[in-house]
Amino acid sequence: AASRETLEEAGARVEVGELFSMLNVPHVHQVHLFYLARLLDLDVAPGEESLEVKLVDEADVPWDDLAFPTVIHTLRCFFADRAAGRIADSSFRLHTLDIDKPMRPLTSRATVTP
């Protein structure tokens, strides 16, 4: 399901790996699951639910333009784990968070405690 969703929304073909983050968003009755994945090629394109899709370096992530706080939180965790070498050796932990109220997306000044 995750690979199909990635293809539909971003035109990206991926090989899905381990569950990376699980974020509970009770005020909208949702749980957001994010998996690590390996990009199979560099072809990406927006789907029906996406306005724009592009590959960027960490320094170029448009933090203030990302729509969902759960995506921002997961990306922050990923970059922190990658910098610490936990992605390469699979020593990362499952990241979880309960979002008890609507969150304004975190800005680029936000940090994640590993």
Nearest alpha carbon to residue 74 among 61, 88, 85? 61
pLDDT for residue 109 is more than 80: no
Nearest alpha carbon to residue 92 among 68, 112, 63, 66? 112
At 108, the pLDDT band (50, 70, 90 cuts) reads very low
Tell me how far apart the alpha carbons of residues 77 and 29 are, in angstroms, rounded to a whole number: 23
pTM, rounded to two decimals: 0.83
pLDDT for residue 26 is more than 80: yes
Q: CA 32, 38, 42: angle at the middle one, nearest 5?
A: 110
**pLDDT digits over 49-93, tens only?**
888 999 999 999 999 999 889 999 999 999 999 999 999 999 999
Domains of the chain (ranges; CATH) run: 2-98 (3.90.79.10)
Computed over every residue of the chain, the mean pLDDT equals: 90
